[in-house]
Amino acid sequence: MEKLAIEGGYPVRSGKIYYGRQWITEEDIDAVRSVLESDFITCGPKVEELERGLCEYTGAKHAVVVNSGTSALHCACIAAGVGPGDEVITTPITFAASANCAFYCGARPVFADIDPETYTIDPESIEAHITERTKAVVAVDYTGQAVKVREIREICDRHGLVFIEDAAHSIGTSYDGKKVGSLADMTCFSFHPVKTVTGGEGGAVTTNNDDLYKKLVLAHTHGITHDEALMEDAPHEGRWVYEQISLGYNYRMTDFQAALITSQMKRLSFFSERRKEIVNRYNEAFAGLPEIIVQKEIPESDTTRHLYVIRLNKELLKCSRAQFFEAMTAENVVPQVHYVPVYWFPYYRSKGYEKGLCPVAEEIYSGIMSIPLYPKMEDTDVDDTIHAIRKVVENYRKA
């Protein structure tokens, strides 16, 4: 048995690798440079080009790009008409923005539990949490796997709820042969550096609904319009006239971010296939390792995985999750945990949320960690990650 690095042994590798990393090429740099040397670095043609490209890729009728995934979620809630006194159902195993977007609108997030095998929001729990105040559901494609779209769509339609898909993890994923982005009432994407496609920061909302699209446009540009069809005082003296017709925000994306994302989108198919290759390697490696539980996938989801999450079978290991985490880090394969249940945070406790709301989510959280997964990984990096996990398991396996 190899001695753990944390106990004085030799680490699996000399340099560290982390759970995610962007991949920027010379083509990407050239795309950004061309914008920086042009007349428009914001509010220019590259933003419109990206919006068209997202529509073409996802099959959605409309796309509005914004400066972050968080802004995308906020705009979606605004367009959905979420306001004071309303409730928005979401999952606790997500980044805080999936729930914060309700608070931004004066509403209250309500946490439904997750499926114990897929780790995505459980439609039965959604149904159980619906009240007369429920306005929308923010369903998160956790790790990149599509949520149970058909079941959630049926629930939302039956109760008159707006279905918002948080697809921050899932660009490139399909459900029943249709790309994520064209399935929900609104779909929100993120272009953070560890995501499959990056703009440094950035986000987008796609929709097939004309009315929602108009509201999204206003929400991300101060509520200001140049469209005479929307103005109260039209006709106007000249083309320069504009009106603020609602309260909106400055959530616009720059043209150089849009150029970077557009350039990255050209390699999305490659990024997706490489991620699938690595996921298959991991699945095969851990299939015979009972100490490691692998996230299950629904058959409808053809998943471009953003995260690969392993779950420790605590009954078969004589270490805590923290000890396993530190042992992996010492081997220079650095994991991360996604995510602490949102309602555990002090801010949420100050709003009256308590532990115990979602017992399945809390149990899953206690054993999960994300291991390296990104297209730029070499096969040797994948081998080292598998080696490190096996090494740590062997040392902490119960007799």
List the CATH number of the domain containing 207. Answer: 3.40.640.10
The answer to whether residues 85 and 218 belong to one domain is: yes
Tokens found for residue 346? 């002090």
Is 213's pLDDT higher than 90? yes
Tokens found for residue 162? 């707006």
Single residue among 216, 237, 265 that ends a domain in this structure: 265
Q: What is the DSSP string of 277-294?
A: HHHHHHHHHHTT-TTEEE
Which residue range forms the structural domain that includes residue 52? Answer: 26-265
The answer to whether residues 139 and 286 belong to one domain is: no
**pTM summary value:** 0.97
pLDDT value of residue 230: 87
Single residue among 214, 232, 265 that ends a domain in this structure: 265
pLDDT value of residue 62: 98
Single residue among 214, 238, 265 that ends a domain in this structure: 265
The answer to whether residues 303 and 198 belong to one domain is: no
When divided into structural domains, the chain yields a total of 2
pLDDT value of residue 263: 98
Distance CA 108, CA 348 (A): 10
Is 227's pLDDT higher than 90? no
With H, G, I as helix, E, B as strand and everything else as coil, classify residue 245: coil
Q: What is the mean pLDDT of residues 2-22?
A: 98
Residue 355 binned pLDDT confidence (cut-offs 50, 70, 90): very high
The chain-wide mean pLDDT, for the chain, equals 97
pLDDT value of residue 231: 84
CATH code (residue 13):
3.90.1150.10
pLDDT value of residue 194: 95
The answer to whether residues 144 and 173 belong to one domain is: yes
Q: What is the mean pLDDT of residues 176-205?
A: 98
Which is nearest to 229 in space by CA: 218, 372, 221? Answer: 218
Residue 228 binned pLDDT confidence (cut-offs 50, 70, 90): confident
Residue 367 binned pLDDT confidence (cut-offs 50, 70, 90): very high
